[in-house]
A = this chain, B = another copy of it.
Amino acid sequence: MNILITNDDGIYAEGLWALYKRFAKKHSVTVIAPDRERSAVGHGITLDEPLRVRKFERDDGYLGYAVSGTPVDCIKLGVVEMLDSCPDMVVSGINPGANVGVNINYSGTVCAAKEAALYGIPAIAVSIQGNQSDNYSDAAIFIEKLTMKIFKKGLPFGTFLNVNIPNIPMDKVAGIRISRHANKLYSEYFKKGVDPRNREYYWQGCDNQTFDKDLDIDGAALGENFISITPIKCDATDYSIIDDLKGWGISEIDFLQKL
């Protein structure tokens, strides 16, 4: 397979190269990743300025391309401009820090996979619990096996998989859960402070996410040492309320005439 790998932690990140190392054994792999950390940039893209692409070579000889943009820019640049043909699969990660619940909105790692799904390319976003990990290579073995399964079975156009892996050796993992993503914001706060120039600032922080004790929820499954796999779709239309909305009378021309 032709695999495109990216992330939001930037081209130097260990999790990215764990994927590269595993996939390069059997596949043709291209790494196109941000030239620096671009966490929490969501589905942002760079329109107001040009992008720069720099060939990147590690000391161990691994090769990639560092891009001055966001993770979604990396997917666009790869698919539209740099690659000779559309990749068979996009793998985004391995992100240190779980991307469960509402974090799928903020995460550049997840949004890169979503962008691939918009092109109709099978895609996975992969994250591992915690800020650092000794378990990237185990996780990469699992992910490669999962991509083989996806390649065989297929995913619907516009749907990708968001995978979260507990930060433990693979033989300690409790199992794998096909889950839904939790949809409640966690407890947040702003730390108000004064800078050295006596100007006020607000710095956002949050408590750990908590989840209902339901192993069908991504964060809850992960919390019990399961690998969580959530299918995410790009079509965000809330079909369940379309008929209700039509019943509101707002789609009558009358509603406009009475303005």
A46 to chain B, nearest CB (A): 7
- Give the contacting residue for A77; candidates B42, B183, B202, B227; CB below 8 A: B202
Question: Given A255-B145, A259-B145, A250–B189 Cβ distance below 8 Å?
Answer: no
A45 touches B40 (CB 8 A): yes
The stretch among A13-21, A88-96, A236-244 that forms the contact with chain B is A236-244
Chain A: number of interface residues, binned into ranges: 35 or more
Please, which residue of chain B has its CB at the minimum distance from the CB of A216? B242
The stretch among A56-64, A103-111, A128-136 that forms the contact with chain B is A103-111
| Contacts from A to B (Cβ < 8 Å) | 39-47, 49-53, 72-73, 76-77, 80-81, 102, 104-106, 111, 114-115, 118-119, 138, 141-142, 145-146, 149, 153, 155-156, 158-159, 170, 173, 175-178, 180-181, 183-185, 188-190, 192-193, 195, 199-204, 227, 229-242, 244-246, 248-253, 255-256, 258-259
